[in-house]
């Protein structure tokens, strides 16, 4: 299943710099591993925001929840999820 996920990061201003840096490094490694596995298909920054739009390709809602809740920044995020379905007027039949 494909999911459109908007993630907005809200790091606390009083988070110690070393803790923030470590969490961000863990986040990058985790997200890149999911991208390498094909589960995190696309990621785009949203200009002017500390946020991204991503496309996940996972088996079901449970897998998506497990992956998202495993993000090191999860506790600092507002997340919006939209399941995606193929549109009947789509010319292409692939999901790239």
Query: pLDDT digit string (tens) for 16-37?
Result: 999 999 999 999 999 999 999 9
Phi and psi dihedrals of 77, rounded to 5? -115, 150
Half-sphere exposure of 14 toward its Cβ, with a 13 Å CA cutoff? 0
Whether the pLDDT of residue 50 is over 70: the answer is yes
pTM for the full predicted model: 0.89
Provide the pLDDT for residue 90.
87
Query: Is residue 14 within 8 Å of residue 63, measured between CB atoms?
Result: no
Provide the pLDDT for residue 86.
87
């Amino acid at each position: 299943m494909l999911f459109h996920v908007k993630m907005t990061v809200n790091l606390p201003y009083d988070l110690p710099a070393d803790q923030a840096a470590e969490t961000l490094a863990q986040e990058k490694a985790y997200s890149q591993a999911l991208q390498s596995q094909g589960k995190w298909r696309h990621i785009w920054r949203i200009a002017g925001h500390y946020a991204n739009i991503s496309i996940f390709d996972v088996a079901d809602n449970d897998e998506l929840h497990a992956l998202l809740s495993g993000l090191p920044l999860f506790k600092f995020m507002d997340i919006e999820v939209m399941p995606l379905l193929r549109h009947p007027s789509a010319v292409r039949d692939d999901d790239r």
